[in-house]
Amino acid sequence: MNGCRILIVEDDPVIAGAMEAHLQSWGHHVTCVRDFQNVLAEFAAAGPQLVLLDVSLPFFNGYHWCAELRKVSQVPILFISSAGDNMNQIMAMNMGGDDFLPKPFDLAVLSAKVQALLRRAYDFGAPARLLNCGGAVLNVSDGTLTAGEKRLDLTGNELKILQMLLENRGRIVSRDSLMTRLWESDAFVDENTLTVNVTRLRKKLEAVGLENLIRTKKGAGYLVEG
């Protein structure tokens, strides 16, 4: 399966660069994490179909990030580690990893494992679509918002509003544009309906610590700052 989005979480730039170049030569779209304190945000921004995850990382180890990723996604995760003993491999699988590749490894073995994982995973359907939401993660596929240990279910209208604002992050979205988006599924949407839905959405966001994520621009619309 070629042309897939892959996220590499590896703090050794030489190893990360070698994996990136090799996988790109297979036609994949590869992103390497730069901010190891905010791996989840970079994951949401990249929207990968496969994650290559080192165990030993700055700030938090790969097991921590695997557990965090599993809260929001079932994307296949291939652990990569110089600690290739049985205990580490068992830990990786128990934390939600799909496979384990000990360092040092041949790049041909890496690409073979990547291809096998992608074939297995995507016989069963498309990956979840995720958007970074102020440190939380919006799963567009199932209408949930995950912030740390908290998970919210959004209504259809709340999801459409938040998705549109996040997709236009840093730009004002007019009330008319939002009402047109809601109109796609509702028989009738007026100004009051939009206001009520935005108010409810704000209360849900506040409950998970995302106060003031959605800003009102009087006479213009709403904005999520970049």
pLDDT of residue 220: 87
- The structure tokens listed for 135 are 């440190």
Asked if residue 175 lies in contact with residue 194, where contact means CB atoms within 8 angstroms, the answer is: yes
**Do 135 and 111 belong to one domain?**
no
The string of DSSP codes covering 57-103 is -SSS-HHHHHHHHHHH----EEEEES--SHHHHHHHHHTT-SEEEES
Torsion of CA 209, 214, 215, 221, to 10 degrees: -170
Per-residue pLDDT of the chain (226 residues; tens, 9 = 90+): 557 899 999 999 999 999 999 998 888 899 999 999 889 989 988 889 999 999 888 988 888 899 888 888 888 899 988 775 667 777 777 777 888 888 888 888 888 888 888 887 776 555 567 888 877 888 887 788 888 878 888 888 888 889 999 989 899 999 888 888 877 654 556 677 788 889 989 999 998 888 888 999 888 899 998 6
Question: Is cis: bond before 104, omega within 30 of 0?
Answer: yes
**Do 149 and 218 belong to one domain?**
yes
**Do 77 and 28 belong to one domain?**
yes
The answer to whether the pTM exceeds 0.85 is no
pLDDT of residue 215: 92
**Do 14 and 89 belong to one domain?**
yes
Q: What is the CATH number of the domain that holds 199?
A: 1.10.10.10
pLDDT of residue 32: 95
pLDDT of residue 43: 92
**Of 121, 140, 174, which residue constitutes the final position of a domain?**
121
Count of domains observed in the chain:
2
pLDDT of residue 13: 93
pLDDT of residue 72: 85
Domain span including residue 16: 5-121
**Do 93 and 177 belong to one domain?**
no
**Do 10 and 95 belong to one domain?**
yes
pLDDT of residue 185: 54
**Do 67 and 10 belong to one domain?**
yes
**Do 87 and 173 belong to one domain?**
no
**Do 152 and 215 belong to one domain?**
yes
**Do 149 and 191 belong to one domain?**
yes
**Do 67 and 115 belong to one domain?**
yes
- Phi/psi for 146 (5° steps) reads -115, 125
**Do 145 and 92 belong to one domain?**
no
